[in-house]
Structure 1
Amino acid sequence: MQRDHTKQGGYGHIRRHLTDEHIREYLLSGDKWRVRVINVWRPLSGAVGDVPLAFGDCGTINSEDLIPTDRPWRGLNREIYNIRWNPKQRWYWIRDQTPEEATLFVNWDSPPMPGGAEFCAHAAFLDPNGDKTRPPRRSVEVRALVITERCV
């Protein structure tokens, strides 16, 4: 179970994709802009029989459940949160998700709108009720950096 970026780790990830001018405009100019990392995930072939992607209800994940962790990736060091299991957490998944059913979720937000979630915790898991007769899940994930004016 994980959150792909801590708050600072998310800023570091985004800075790698922006020019200095864009960093000043979008990240350092106050609250005019909202910057998000959005994930798009879908299976590549056939319905997912096992190891589906699960999503945590952020309202049930406490800050004490978040464990900052360094994760090396392509020569960079990303700071993510691993998530400690807590019986109060609620997790959801799409059973038998097909390639026609893309899933979008907010991976990081700078900061979210009032009452909104800052992130979407996610994990893949072995489903004891999954269809073991189908091949293992093959999937694709795309991330988009989305910059919009902040709504009031």
Structure 2
Amino acid sequence: MSDVVIEQPVEVEAGLNYLVPTGVKPASYAYDPPPGVPRRTGEYRTRAVKISNARLRPPPGGLSLDRNGFELHREASVLSDFSDDAAIRSVYYPRSERLLKQWTGAKRVVIFDHTLRDGAAARANGVKEPVHLIHNDQTFVSGPRRVRDHLPGEEAARLLQGRFAIVNLWRPVGEVVESSPLALCDSRSIDERDAVAQDFIYPTMTGETYAFVHNPLHRWYYFPLMSPDEALLIKIYDSAGDGVARFTAHTAFDDPTSPPDARPRRSIELRSLLFF
């Protein structure tokens, strides 16, 4: 893509993939399933929605992780090369922990995993493609389970008595995002009945994530041309029940303004437990 400055639209219209409610709990595998078993079940339907440019038309009152379920920060990455898993864990994790504390006010942060994504067909081993289905990475059932999965029993029991949250830190890798940006749904526009639990199957355990059914009240936003010097916080779970955003929906989407020669999107997302 050339270096010509592109005027950003105030909003775009794009197709987002919503779950069709059938009464059957969907499931998906985090690995190659057994022969004859589909990688993912559930019926999805593409709906055309308006997605506002959050840089030019943010939600009323401005963006807040605890109000809208997501917020954007500008902070250069301590790493530019994410090909070394050991460096991600030894260098990127500690710096991200400090930033998460600074940005959220959490007293303690535990990063429990990360995922690299690449929209190119020839991806490196272990790197996943962007997800083009509307989802949230945890449910009200699986959120507390994550604390028990990653901390000793007595400590987990104690921490679960206070407020905790699960937040993803999402960042572009290498270059500006020209294709498959993230769409994020304002948490305040989501009815809890829109969220449908689905099994997420690992080799040694089964977790839960949320898929979402269509609701015309959903308000969608995106940040066009995100750079590696920007980091997006996404609320995945919050134990607070006093009007704080408890989760939000998000998905990659095909941006109709992406140029024909747009580079495949590359990104990294960290998943973290936050204790307040």
With structure 2 as the length reference, what TM-score do the two structures score? Answer: 0.50
Counterpart selection for 2:220 from 91, 115, 119: 91
C-alpha contact 1:47 1:98 (8 A) present in aligned 2:
yes
1:124 is aligned to 2:252: yes
1:41 is aligned to 2:170: yes
Counterpart selection for 1:136 from 259, 264, 276: 264
Q: For residues 247 and 139 of structure 2, what CA distance do their matches in structure 1 show?
A: 9
> Which runs of structure 1 show a deviation greater than 6 angstroms over 4 or more consecutive aligned residues?
none
Q: Which residue matches 2:144?
A: 11
SS in 2 for 1:142: strand
**Unmatched runs of 5 consecutive residues or more in structure 2:** 1-133
1:20 is aligned to 2:156: no
Q: For residues 126 and 109 of structure 1, what CA distance do their matches in structure 2 show?
A: 29
Q: For residues 24 and 14 of structure 1, what CA distance do their matches in structure 2 show?
A: 9
**Unmatched runs of 5 consecutive residues or more in structure 1:** none
Question: Could you give the per-residue CA deviations for residues 77-136 of structure 1, whole angstroms, max 9, x where no partner exists?
Answer: 111110112221111111010100111122111124x22100122111111112332211
SS in 2 for 1:111: coil
SS in 1 for 2:247: coil
Q: For residues 85 and 73 of structure 1, what CA distance do their matches in structure 2 show?
A: 27
Change (3 A) 1:21 1:139: same
Quote how far apart the aligned CAs of 1:74 are.
4.5
* CA RMSD in angstroms, aligned pairs only: 1.4
Q: For residues 57 and 44 of structure 1, what CA distance do their matches in structure 2 show?
A: 25
Q: Which residue matches 2:17?
A: none
Residue type matched to 1:60 in 2?
A: S
Amino-acid identity (%) = 35
Q: Which residue matches 1:2?
A: 135
Q: Which residue matches 1:71?
A: 200
SS in 2 for 1:46: coil
1:57 is aligned to 2:186: yes
1:146 is aligned to 2:274: yes
Bigger Rg over Cα? 2
Q: For residues 155 and 243 of structure 2, what CA distance do their matches in structure 1 show?
A: 27
C-alpha contact 1:49 1:132 (8 A) present in aligned 2:
no
